[in-house]
């Protein structure tokens, strides 16, 4: 069975994964290097600027990892932004108004994510409903429920939570100020969690049976079915995992903003999808890596960072540059898929 799976994966666009990943990483390196050269006087070359990419996007990295998993199966999840808002709101509400501990808040965040994953996964895999529609309903539901919990902004003042949020981890690297004082770069625990998730999912996708099954389903659902894979169960698992990661990512997001608010994380799902696509995940499924997605998030962060540093451009340019990049990657993917298809026909 495992051999069969390996076969399927090999026949499906060999090298495409590596190629797309390489382009993404190259793009990031080029972009960041340009930033370091052009804005060297504006602190772009400082290591902390790089760390900030992770600090600001820790939640998004985790959420995008979840999205990558469902996108590998050929699905999509656009509810993650609303799940994030709901998680932040419920966590803030539990800690501030219900007097619960930060552990309960974290647990409820994961449970919310899990619940979204289970319900959406069931509808998509066992009732064969389009993932787009199911998760669109999830998007509305999540945002609506957030407003039901509270339309007010809730600030988290829970001491332990703030301790988590503000626990700076100093790194051995840093930069030396003009007057000779060494300022170490720092990250927050959220970054560590996000990176661990990336590593774990990478191992899962590359080394575990479940990972290979995901690629097989995304590559060709029909042949995966004929090989005796339980397609529905694998899909279900993918969405549950995606939901869980959205819950966890939402909590990390909350650690960054320290607040629950109904308008929070609006459009986050689109950021996550674009990160995955830029990271080399095919929307049609079968191809994608979370390392690529990580770089997709970093590219998005770099664009935002470059435009903020520039200081006079409207921040809407972030969107414009992102859309251009997206187009570039989609076209690239279409070409690769096209070439692969022709080869198969021969």
Partner 1 sequence: MKKWLSVILASVMAVSFTACGNSSTATNGAANGDASAAVSAAASSDTGTASMKTESGKTITVGFSQVGAESDWRTANTTSMKDTFSTANGFNLVFDDAQQKQENQITAIRNFIQQEVDYIVLAPVTETGWDTVLKEAKDANIPVIIVDRMVKVSDESLFTAWVGSNFKLEGQKAAAWLKNFADAKGLKGSDLHIVDIQGTIGASAQIGRTEGLEEAAKEYGWDLLAKESGEFTQAKGQEVMESFIKQYPNLNVVYCENDNEAFGAIDALTAAGKTVGPDIKNGQIMVLSFDSTKAGLTDTLKGKITLNTECNPLHGPRVKKIIDTLESGGTVDKKAYVDEEMFSADTTVTQVSVGGENFNVTKLTQEVLDKRAY
Near partner 1 in 252-271, by CB under 8 A: 253, 256-259, 261-267, 270
Residues 278 and 299: beta-carbon distance below 8 Å: yes
**Which residues in the 134-153 window bind partner 1 by CB under 8 A?**
151, 153
DSSP 324-343: HHHHHHHHHHHHHHHHHHHH
Cα–Cα distance measured from residue 254 to residue 265, given in angstroms and rounded to the nearest whole number:
10
For partner 1, the binding residue among 126, 132, 140, 328 (CB under 8 A) is 132
277 binds partner 1 (CB under 8 A): yes
Q: Is the dihedral of CA 202, 206, 210, 215 positive or negative?
A: positive
> Pattern 84-113, binding to partner 1, x per CB under 8 A?
------------------------------
17-28 burial string, b = 16+ CB within 10 Å, else e? beebbebbbebb
Q: Which is nearer to partner 1, 18 or 155 (CB)?
A: 155
Q: Which of 196, 199, 334, 339 binds partner 1 (CB under 8 A)?
A: 334
Residues in the chain: 346
| Size, binding site for partner 1 by CB under 8 A | 61
Phi, psi of 305 (to 5 degrees): -65, -45
The reply to whether 327 sits near partner 1 by the rule CB under 8 A is: yes
- Give the range of 6-14, 28-36, 206-214, 300-308 binding partner 1 by CB under 8 A: 300-308
Out of 18, 284, 328, 339, name the contact with partner 1 by CB under 8 A: 284
Task: Based on the shown chain and the rule CB under 8 A, indicate whether residue 154 belongs to the binding site for partner 1.
Answer: yes
Instruction: Tokens for 282, please give them.
Output: 């095919």
Piece in contact with partner 1 (CB under 8 A), picked from 30-38, 106-114, 191-199, 273-281: 273-281
C-alpha 12/C-alpha 224 separation (Å) is 12
Place of tokens 């830029």: 278
Based on the shown chain and the rule CB under 8 A, indicate whether residue 72 belongs to the binding site for partner 1: no
Which position among 73, 158, 302, 305 is part of the footprint of partner 1 (CB under 8 A)? 305
Residue 153 C-beta: closest distance to partner 1, Å: 5
C-alpha 24, offset from chain centre: 15
Contact with partner 1 (CB under 8 A): which of 83, 110, 273, 275?
A: 273
Q: Which of residues 30-59 bind partner 1 (CB under 8 A)?
A: 42-44, 46, 48-49, 52, 55-56
Question: Is 180 near partner 1 (CB under 8 A)?
Answer: no
DSSP-derived letter for residue 179 is: T
| Element of type H or E holding 259 | strand 259-260
Asked if residue 316 binds partner 1 (CB under 8 A), the reply is yes
Closest contact distance (angstroms) between CB of 240 and partner 1 is: 23
C-beta atoms surrounding 296 within 10 Å: 31
Long-range contacts made by residues 38-41, C-beta under 8 angstroms, separation at least 24? 39/306, 39/309, 39/310
Instruction: Name the minimum Å distance from CB 203 to partner 1.
Output: 27
Closest CA to 300 of 280, 282, 274: 274
Instruction: CB nearer to partner 1: give 202 or 220.
Output: 220
Question: C-beta of 330: minimal distance to partner 1 in Å?
Answer: 5
Distances (CA, A) of 80 to 5, 66, 140: 30, 9, 11
Tell me: does residue 68 bind partner 1 (CB under 8 A). Answer: no
H/E segment holding residue 155: strand 154-155
Positions in the binding site for partner 1 (CB under 8 A): 42-44, 46, 48-49, 52, 55-56, 74, 76, 132, 151, 153-157, 162, 165-166, 253, 256-259, 261-267, 270, 273-274, 277, 282-285, 301, 304-305, 308-309, 311-312, 314-316, 319, 322-323, 326-327, 330, 333-334, 337-338
């Amino acid at each position: 069975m495992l051999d069969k799976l390996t076969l399927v994966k090999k026949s499906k666009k060999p090298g495409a994964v590596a190629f797309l990943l390489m382009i993404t990483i190259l793009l990031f390196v080029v972009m960041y290097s340009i930033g370091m050269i052009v804005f060297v006087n504006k602190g772009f070359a400082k290591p902390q600027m790089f760390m900030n990419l992770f600090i600001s996007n820790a939640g998004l990295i985790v959420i995008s990892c979840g999205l990558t998993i469902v996108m590998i199966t050929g699905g999509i999840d656009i509810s993650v932004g609303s799940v994030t808002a709901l998680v932040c709101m419920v966590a803030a509400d539990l800690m501030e108004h219900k007097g619960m501990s930060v552990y309960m808040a974290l647990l409820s965040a994961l449970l919310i994510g899990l619940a979204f994953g289970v319900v959406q996964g069931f509808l998509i895999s066992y009732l064969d409903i389009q993932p787009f529609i199911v998760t669109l309903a999830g998007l509305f539901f999540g945002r609506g429920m957030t407003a039901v919990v509270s339309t007010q902004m809730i600030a988290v003042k829970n001491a332990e939570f703030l301790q988590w949020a503000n626990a700076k981890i100093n790194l051995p690297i840093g930069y030396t100020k003009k007057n000779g004082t060494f300022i170490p770069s720092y990250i927050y625990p959220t970054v560590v969690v996000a990176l661990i998730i990336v590593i774990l999912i990478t191992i899962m996708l590359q080394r575990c049976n479940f990972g290979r099954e995901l690629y097989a389903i995304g590559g060709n659902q029909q042949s995966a079915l004929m090989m005796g894979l339980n397609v529905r169960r694998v899909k279900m698992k993918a969405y549950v995992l995606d939901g869980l990661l959205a819950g966890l990512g939402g909590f990390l997001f909350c650690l960054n903003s320290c607040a629950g608010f109904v308008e929070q994380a609006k459009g986050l799902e689109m950021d996550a999808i674009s990160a995955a696509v830029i990271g080399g995940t095919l929307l049609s499924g079968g191809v994608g890596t979370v390392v690529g997605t990580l770089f997709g998030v970093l590219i998005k962060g770099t664009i935002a960072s470059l435009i903020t540093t520039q200081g006079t451009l409207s921040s809407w340019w972030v969107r414009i540059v992102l859309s251009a990049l997206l187009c570039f990657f989609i076209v690239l993917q279409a070409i690769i898929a096209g070439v692969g298809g022709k080869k198969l026909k021969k």
